[in-house]
C-alpha cells in the first residue's frame, strides 16, 4: 500500500473517531438524563468535557504532537474519567438539598469542599498512570505518546476548571428552573384572573 492509501486510511480513522466521540457524548447524556430524571443535571456533568478536550489539545499543541487516532482515543477515555468528578459533586449536592434542606448555593459549596480530596486523589492517580505513556519509553513509544499527553493535559486542565465550572453551571441550571417555574405561575395567575373577570362580567 502506498503512502497516499495509508494517509487516506488514517484520515478515515480520525473521522470515525470523531463520530464515535459525538455518539458517546449523546449516549452518556441520555443515560444521565434517565438516571437523574432531568435534562439539566446531565448538562452540568457534561460541562466538564470541554475543559478536558481543551486541555488535551493544548497539551498536544505545546508538545507539538500530531492529532493521531491514539489521541482521539485518549479524548474518548477522558469523557469517562473527568465525568465522575462532576457526578461526585452533583450527587452530593442533590442529597444535601433533599435530605438536609440546604439551599442550592450551600449544597454545591459543601459538595465542592467535601469532594475536593477524592476528586484530586483520583485525578492524580490517573495522571500518574498516563505519565509513563506521555514521556515515552521502549519500542512503539511514538505511537503511545499522544495517548499519554492527551490524557495528562486533559486531566490537568479539567481538574483546575471543574471545581469552578461545575458549581457555576449547577446554580445556573437551578436559576433557570426557578425562572421557568415563576413564568409558569404568572401565566396560571393571569389565566385565573382573566377567567374571574369574565365570570364577574357575566354576573354583572
The string of pLDDT tens digits covering residues 34-47 is 887 777 788 888 88
Q: Which residue bears the cell 474518548?
A: 76
Give the domain extent around 32.
Answer: 3-203
pLDDT of the residue at 49: 82
Task: Tell me the backbone φ, ψ of residue 10, rounded to 5 degrees.
Answer: -65, -40
**C-alpha–C-alpha distance, residues 96 and 85, integer Å:** 17
CA 49 remoteness from chain centre: 4
Q: Output the domain CATH number for residue 18.
A: 1.20.1640.10
pLDDT single digits (tens) 91-131 = 888 888 888 888 888 888 898 888 888 888 888 888 888 88
Give me 26's grid cell. 449523546
Tally of structural domains, the chain: 1
| Per-residue confidence band for 9, with pLDDT thresholds at 50, 70 and 90 | low
Q: What is the pLDDT of residues 68-98, one digit of tens each?
A: 778 878 888 887 788 888 888 888 888 888 8
Contacts 24+ apart (CB under 8 A), 68-72: 68/10, 68/14, 68/143, 68/146, 69/10, 69/13, 69/14, 69/17, 70/143, 70/144, 70/146, 70/147, 70/150, 71/146, 71/147, 71/149, 71/150, 72/14, 72/17, 72/18, 72/21
Per the CB < 8 A criterion, the answer to whether 104 and 170 are in contact is yes
Maximum alpha-carbon separation in the chain = 94
Amino acid at each position: 500500500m502506498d503512502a497516499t492509501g495509508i494517509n487516506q486510511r488514517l484520515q478515515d480513522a480520525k473521522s470515525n473517531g470523531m463520530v464515535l466521540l459525538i455518539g458517546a457524548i449523546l449516549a452518556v447524556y441520555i443515560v444521565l438524563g434517565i438516571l437523574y430524571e432531568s435534562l439539566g443535571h446531565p448538562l452540568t456533568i457534561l460541562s466538564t468535557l470541554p475543559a478536558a478536550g481543551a486541555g488535551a489539545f493544548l497539551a498536544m499543541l505545546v508538545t507539538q504532537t500530531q492529532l493521531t487516532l491514539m489521541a482521539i482515543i485518549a479524548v474518548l477515555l477522558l469523557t469517562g474519567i473527568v465525568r465522575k468528578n462532576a457526578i461526585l459533586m452533583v450527587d452530593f449536592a442533590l442529597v444535601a438539598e433533599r435530605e438536609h434542606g440546604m439551599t442550592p448555593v450551600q449544597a454545591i459549596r459543601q459538595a465542592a469542599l467535601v469532594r475536593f480530596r477524592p476528586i484530586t486523589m483520583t485525578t492524580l492517580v490517573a495522571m500518574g498512570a498516563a505519565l509513563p505513556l506521555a514521556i515515552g519509553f521502549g519500542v512503539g513509544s511514538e505511537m503511545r505518546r499522544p495517548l499519554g499527553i492527551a490524557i495528562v493535559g486533559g486531566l490537568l486542565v479539567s481538574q483546575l476548571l471543574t471545581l469552578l465550572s461545575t458549581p457555576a453551571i449547577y446554580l445556573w441550571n437551578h436559576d433557570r428552573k426557578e425562572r421557568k417555574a415563576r413564568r409558569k405561575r404568572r401565566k396560571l395567575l393571569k389565566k385565573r384572573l382573566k377567567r374571574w373577570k369574565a365570570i364577574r362580567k357575566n354576573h354583572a
